[in-house]
Structures are given as C-alpha cells and as structure tokens.
Amino acid sequence: MKLLLLLACLLPLLAAAQPRLDYQVYYAPHLTTEGLRVQLSVRTPKAEDSTYFHFANEVWGEPDLLRCLTGLTGAGPGYRFRVVPDSSRIVVYHPHGREVRFSYRIRQDAADYARDQFNRPRVTDAYFHVLGESLFAVPEFITKAPTEPTLTATIRWVGFPAGYVLHNTFASQPAGQQTFRGKLWTQFYRSLYVGGDYRLQRFTYQNRPVYLAVRGQWQRYDEAQVLSALQRTLTAQRDFWHDAGPASYTVFLSPTVTLRDSAWRGQSMRGESLYQGFKLQSSNNPFNNWELLRYMFNHEMMHDWIGGQIRGAHEELNYWFTEGFTDYYAYKNRLRSGDVTLEQWVRDFNADVIQKLYANAERNQPNYLIKDNFWKSRSFEKLPYRRGAVFAFWLDNQILKRSNYTRSLDDLMRELRQACLPPGQQFTDERFLTLAKTYLHEDISYLFQKHILSGADLPLAKADLIEGFDVDAAQPVPTLKIIGAPATLRERYLGLKPAAKTVAQQ
C-alpha cells in the first residue's frame, strides 16, 4: 500500500518532467505568400491566464527572426498575443485553464535573401528549408529549466500532396506523423526541416541509413560524385572513431543564390552541424569549388564527435578545440581516406591554415576576446580554427615522437571522447591538459596559457616534428615541408596498421 501511495505521488512529477507538445504543420498551395501554418497544443503544469513561449529571435548569428512569424491566432475566443523580440518570447493570453492551443505562420521576411543570409527560414512555393528553432515555439516552463530539458513532441504533417518530399534530421518521408523524444537544445532545436523539390539519395553504413538531401541544379558538382565523396568521408570518419553513428543521418545541400553567368567571381559556402547530420548552403555559379565542398564535408561531419560527443563546456572559449581540432582532423582524415596525397595535404595546410593564420590581423588576440567577437568579426571567427589546428599539429607530432610512434593525438582524442560520453561530462581546458600530460609525460599548461589563451605565436621547428617533416622558418611565415619519401612519412604520420574496413554501401 505504501509503495502504491508513493507511485501515486510520483506520477504527477514524472509527467511534469516529460512535457508533451503537439504540433500540426499545414501545407498551402501558395507557401510563398501564406507560409507554413503551425498549430501548437500544450497542457501547462497549472491553470493560468497567460503562458510564455520561446521563439528565438536570433539563431546562429541570424538576427530579427521574429519578423518571419506572423498570423498568431488562438483556438477560440479570449486569446490575445504579445511578441517580445528582445526576450525571444511570445506571450499568449488565453482563457483560464491548462489547455493552450494556438497557431502561427512561418514566412520569409524578404522576397529574396542575400547569399550570406544562411539561417533565415526559406519558404517558397517550390520548397521550404527551416531550422527547428525557427519552426517550433516551445513554452518557457520547458525552456527555462536549470539543466537541458527533455520533451516529447508529436509533429503531424497535414495536407501535403502525395509525392511531396518531406525530410528532416529525425525522419524521412514521415507518413503523416512523427514523434520526437529527446533533449531540447542539442537535439529538437538543433534540427532542420526541408520539403518540396529536394532530391533524396541514400546509402548505408553498418545497416544505418545515410541521406543526401539536395536541391537545385549545381554547376560543376555532379550529384553522383557528391554522393561518392560523402560516402568516402563518412566511412573514414566513422572508422577512425570506431563509431557506427546514429540511427539515421542526413547531409543537406542547398543553394542560396544561383547565377548562370560570371557576375560574381567567387563562392560563399557555410556549414553547420545538426543533430544527426549537418547542412551546407552555398552560392551556385560557374565558380563552384569542388575542393571546398570536399573540405566542408570533412569539417562539418567531424563535428559529430568534436563539439558533439566531445561537447565544450564553455562554447566560444573552447572554440580553439571544438573548431581548431575539428579543422585539423578534417585535413588529417582527408589524407587518411586517400582524398588527398601527402603533398597536397602539406600544400593545403600551409596555404589554408598557417599562411591565413599569420595573415590574420587579430592572430595574437587573447582567447577570451573570441567569445565577444566571434559572431561580429570574420577575423575573430576564423582565429580559433587556425590557431587550434596549428596547436593540434604540434601536439600530434609531440605525442608521436615521445612515444616512439606507438601513440598519437588520435589515441588521445578517442580517449577524450570516451571520457565525455557519460551524462554531464564535458570538455574543459583542465580535462584536456590533464589527459595530454599522460601522453607527453609533461605538463604543458604554461605553453597552453601562452600560445592558446594569451595568443602568442606557436613557433614550429623541425626539432618538434616527426622525422620527414621540416619547417622553413627563414621567412616571416613558417612553411611546412617534406623531406624524404612521402609514402614513408605518410605511414609514419598516420600510424597505419592493416585493419578490416567497414565500407559504406549503397
């Protein structure tokens, strides 16, 4: 009897800990003008006259997103609304009670977006491309939890024609309804929803589906070639981490602006990691760069682990690692997979990492300024990528040399991932330095403080690198060089050992 009484007392608490949201997303034949209509139903913890809902006014540096939300309508009489952009808030005044139901529309706030506007909702008659945080309002009694909340959300897709492509980071072609159960910020909101004229390609890795969702007619990108490059990248990275990956995974490739002439001689591409995938958006013109696309595949996918499973506790302050080490392993795994030769790897690392770091006017700025300026300044944005990548290369060489080639930074990274996988465990500078000490048998805290946190240049010297690498330091910008046989250096650097490979299959 006491046990039954205890369960009766706990059931309301458990229900409150797992709030449930019900969304209906409606098709309209003229989405450009009407937008996607979203209806939300929720039961609040207690009876109220008003309820606050979160709807982000800024996502990933894209401002004023509440301009894309219109048509707030209650389910019956007695509803009123107030939008507070500075607080990313919708205040819903409703009849006293616990049941709240209202709808709103998500539309573009301009007929066309500039090529560098990546994260605004795109809703047209032909297609839609909307981030989860810009599609679904969530009540603040969930979002204001002191730790990351979990929730259950049912999403019903209403009225979409037969054959209309619907795809998102959780489901492909959901048959009218899908249910999400998981974390709010890192899963439900770190998602992307697309529909319309997208084309879906599919292959599997260890019986787990991987999708390429692509739209537009790309210049200089053959779709079969793109899919093959994605397979190569995914196989190499999951093999490296000994990780079969999530239940499903999607790479989204979408054009921002398409030009058939040479009015603009360049390419603007941006990638962002998502839960169970990533998205790439790019201008589309005769100057599309195939090497840039392959690099972006490697960089963005590496975030599944670095920044994803190895999650930084302090966001921008940890970008020297979550972006810098991601960039380093984007280059290293391209070499490992056979995507580039060692000579190409050295050429690219010199040109795109070392030279661009030294050309950066902010290169000696302290790490703490990155937090304030990352989203404001292109120079600050790229600083942790290149500073961290050079440090990762130096550290990799040091571990290889000191262990007589029996261990490398690869081993440290896999061990760090295992340490960060349990709930509540995150990456910190202190955890990293403690682990590095076990590999180097030396405390590098002073060097880390000087070169990563304070911003002094990290001098690369031949004595710090493994046999086969050299550095030309005669010029203001150091240049990495190969001495000896490239094949021998490649094997030494990668620590290659014969092993059975799991290859992604179509």
| Residue-wise pLDDT tens digits, 129-152 | 999 999 999 999 999 999 999 999
Distance, CA of 89 to chain centre: 25
pLDDT > 50? residue 318? yes
| pLDDT tens-digit readout, 64-84 | 999 999 999 999 999 999 999
Please say whether the beta carbons of 122 and 58 come within 8 A: no
**Region 490-496 average pLDDT:** 92
What are the φ/ψ torsions at residue 28 (nearest 5 degrees)?
Answer: -140, 140
H helix intervals, 119-193: 140-143
pLDDT > 50? residue 326? yes
Q: What is the pLDDT of residue 268?
A: 87
Q: What percent of the chain has pLDDT over 70?
A: 94
Q: What is the pLDDT of residue 144?
A: 95
Please report the domains of the chain, with CATH numbers, ordered by start residue.
Answer: 17-183 (2.60.40.3650), 198-304 (1.10.390.10), 319-506 (1.10.390.10)
Q: What is the pLDDT of residue 17?
A: 54
pLDDT averaged over every residue in the chain: 93
**Region 16-28 average pLDDT:** 87
Return the minimum-mean-pLDDT range out of 3-17, 44-58, 212-226, 310-324. Answer: 3-17
| pLDDT tens-digit readout, 347-368 | 999 999 999 999 999 999 999 9
Q: Which helix (H) or strand (E) holds 372?
A: helix 368-373
Greatest C-alpha distance within the chain = 83
Rounded Cα gap, residues 470 and 481, in angstroms: 5
273: closest CA among 248, 293, 246, 302?
Answer: 302
Strand partners, 51: 92
| pLDDT tens-digit readout, 459-475 | 999 999 999 999 998 88
pTM of the predicted protein model:
0.91
Distance, CA of 200 to chain centre: 20
**Region 221-241 average pLDDT:** 96
Confidence of residue 3 (pLDDT cuts 50, 70, 90): very low
Please say whether the beta carbons of 332 and 400 come within 8 A: no
Confidence of residue 505 (pLDDT cuts 50, 70, 90): low
Q: What is the pLDDT of residue 271?
A: 94
Burial of 333 (0-12, 13-18, 19+ CB in 10 A): buried
| pLDDT tens-digit readout, 76-108 | 999 999 999 999 999 999 999 999 999 999 999
Q: What percent of the chain has pLDDT over 90?
A: 87
